[in-house]
Structure 1
């Protein structure tokens, strides 16, 4: 079982089973039937603390949860799989049935939630709808390494895209990335915690222009800056 990223990487690489018994909030999705079984599946909210979160990560999480108490901020839950209804909506909206086999669609899961606790993307996003901005707390695990001891640039780009996309979804609903421009200032150490601050800069019809920066917990180190263009999807048009 993982204790903490700061306790060393050996315990992460020696992980042999997933943690059970994580706390759940009422925002969890309802039980969904497992294929070919009568067993019920409870969808886990992966944006809640687990033993791999560092002390800094937990402290920041608690601080933002306090901000949520007056309703100005909201924690966004995160699941590996979408609800059954949402999956059906997305298949109808995005996919031509002849191009994607049904069994393949049923196997999909969110890319950033495909790792065991602490090994990959550990993050939680808080949203302020009135100010059209989000804050993403992110801790990258050892499976995301690029050069020794640091996160792969593609892993950092994935989290920047995720953070900006969550911010764009506040006014835009269902959006997709059209352009992402990142300036990497410094590499991010493995298992360190960074804060991604994103904001909506401009809205032009279906185009949403956003920007963000990635900083250390104490805000003294700037790791990256980025801008993104997202497009609000037209439900009357197919993507295929």
Structure 2
């Protein structure tokens, strides 16, 4: 056997050893990832990710989702019906006993339909939100009538004394739920959820201390809005943020808010805040 052939054989064997070692490393890495995933999500408790398109999403919601998904600077945040970190210790019997408020309905399209994306470089979080028909609020004239009832005690006493039904009729009709606009509390909820998700992803666990929200224009049920939140300042445990809610084409400013969150120290219980 010539020296050249001996050298070639040796290099071939070394190559096989290296390739085998790389394969073992890849297998170990994959197995470790699988074990970690299975520890967090046992096979019997595999969660459903709700932050993906479903048949109830309208064209504008789908369009925004696709645009952000194609942009590498944005990372989609998965969304489950409960806190994923708690599932590792959850029993089969306990599954389903608690849910996130925004994921508390089994039927698609009737409540909170949304998907969040996070931009690490900008410390910014956006949420594509489509309110379903179960998120409707009261008509504005109902609130005015209710206020008028208590703001004019003399007039109401006279009407009550005369036994007139006109005022009662005036109150009962507007107090019917509106089928057109999203309840203000639901807007505050999804806004708070968006801001909180951004803080958790950029800084760490935190809880809402203060939320100042200005409603500029009502959000029609079934429409698509984009919630844009960013961290403005961090001062010790305090995190200051700013957020806007705009129509899918950014033409209408529906709401804007500022919020203060307090970061949780390592091992600190939420109950202490």
| Aligned counterpart, 2:81 | 80
Question: Structure 1 residue 168: deviation in Å?
Answer: 1.5
Of residues 259, 262, 266, the one that matches 1:228 is 259
The verdict on how the C-alpha distance between 1:223 and 1:155 changes in structure 2, with shifts beyond 3 A counting, is same
Note the 1:1-240 alignment, pairs <5 A. Answer: 30=38, 32=42, 40-68=44-72, 72-83=73-84, 86-87=85-86, 107-115=97-105, 116-147=107-138, 148=178, 149-240=180-271
Q: Normalized per residue, which structure has more helix?
A: 2
The gaps in structure 1 that reach 5 residues or longer are 1-25, 34-39, 92-102
What is the TM-score normalised by the length of structure 1? 0.74
Between the aligned partners of 1:52 and 1:106, the Cα distance in structure 2 is 23
Contact kept, 8 Å, 2:125 with 2:198, in 1: the verdict is yes
Question: Structure 1 residue 41: deviation in Å?
Answer: 4.2
Q: How many residues are matched?
A: 191
| Aligned counterpart, 2:162 | none
What is the TM-score normalised by the length of structure 2? 0.65
**Higher radius of gyration, 1 or 2:** 2
Supply the RMSD in Å over aligned alpha carbons: 2.3
Question: Structure 1 residue 237: deviation in Å?
Answer: 3.4
The gaps in structure 2 that reach 5 residues or longer are 1-33, 139-177
Contact kept, 8 Å, 2:82 with 2:100, in 1: the verdict is yes
Question: Structure 1 residue 82: deviation in Å?
Answer: 3.2
Between the aligned partners of 2:254 and 2:247, the Cα distance in structure 1 is 7
The verdict on how the C-alpha distance between 1:213 and 1:167 changes in structure 2, with shifts beyond 3 A counting, is same
